[in-house]
Amino acid sequence: MAVMTYAEAAVLAVAHEMEADANVVVLGEDVGRGGIFGQYKGLQARFGTDRVVDTPISEAAILGAGVGMALAGLRPVVEMRVVDFALCAMDEIANQAAKNRFMFGGQGRVPMVVRMPIGIWDASAAQHSQSLESWFAHLPGVVVVCPATPQDNYSLLRAALASGDPVVYMEHKTLWGVSGEVDPASTAKLGEARLVRPGRDVTIVSWSKQVQACEQACDELAAHGIAAELVAAGFGAEIAATVAETVGCKVRRLGAPRIPVGYASVLEAQSRVTAPDIAAAARGLLA
């Protein structure tokens, strides 16, 4: 086990896959200098400019090239810098990568990982702070991954590269500097939830950075004698509907308000779901 940051874990995962398979390549803006968050640090110096490729500023061109590379037998890692910019390449994602395997009966595969950092980035306002994982979760043909810890980022990134399908890989922008233990021998399975902590009274389901807020909420609930189970996975509305239909339990959905993220700190704060918000919602269910 080694202690490393979320960003360092990503670098290690990509490096391992590039060492193991010469078909793994990286392309995107600023990847040569390590990426804007350090998530490719040292990779171009190690593997060369033919495998870590700096591109022009055109998301459609970058993703289109990635789709073509994947169809030709490569395994590209495509960098979008932030998820907001990926909207300039939605045709390549939704109409090309996502549909290829289905439309051609499996003759074509798009083993591509598209990294789209998500989440509120302090003072970055509405066009740099979105979390659009639910959009992509409703897109047939792509896999959506939202790692919450450095270990997640290492294991899930390697699993994403090995999956053989297009993966929308969403790392939260404020997790890059978070440190934690990483076991390089630990593997992850796409589509399988992680039980963060057990509990008997209420179950909280979340993903990405919000797992941290949920852990804090679980501690707050424990102080009031409530044992909360925390599962890192899923998308709220679908989980709530499935649970309610299956077992008939009470459900309380809690998400960010339907507003753009503001620039001013007081407006930005309105877009956050805090640990006290989560704990209050859980207590309301048990009242």
User: Which CATH number covers residue 240?
Assistant: 3.40.50.920
Active-site residues: which are they?
Answer: 128
Give the DSSP letter string of the chain. Answer: -EEEEHHHHHHHHHHHHHHH-TTEEEEETTTTTT-TTSTTTTHHHHH-TTTEEE--S-HHHHHHHHHHHHHTT-EEEEE-SSHHHHGGGHIIIIIIIHHHHHHTTTSS----EEE--BS--TT--TTS----HHHHHTSTT-EEE---SHHHHHHHHHHHHHSSS-EEE--BTTSTT-EEEE-TT----TT--EEEE--SSEEEEE-TTHHHHHHHHHHHHHTTT--EEEEE---HHHHHHHHHHHH----------SSPPPSSHHHHHTT---HHHHHHHHHHHH-
Domain boundary among 122, 149, 182: 182
Over 80: is that where the pLDDT of 258 sits? no
| pLDDT 10s digits, 218-236 | 999 999 999 999 998 666 7
Q: Which of 133, 162, 182 is the last residue of a domain?
A: 182
Mean pLDDT of 55-81: 97
| Range(s) of the domain holding residue 145 | 2-182
- Calculate the average pLDDT of the chain: 94
Tens digits of residue pLDDT in 158-216:
999 999 999 999 999 999 999 999 999 999 999 998 999 999 999 999 999 999 999 99
What pTM, to 2 d.p., does this model score?
0.89
How many domains in the chain? 2
Give the model's confidence band at 262: pLDDT under 50 very low, under 70 low, under 90 confident, else very high: confident
Q: Domain for residue 188, yes or no?
A: no
State residue 30's pLDDT score: 95
Per-residue model confidence (pLDDT) at position 138: 85
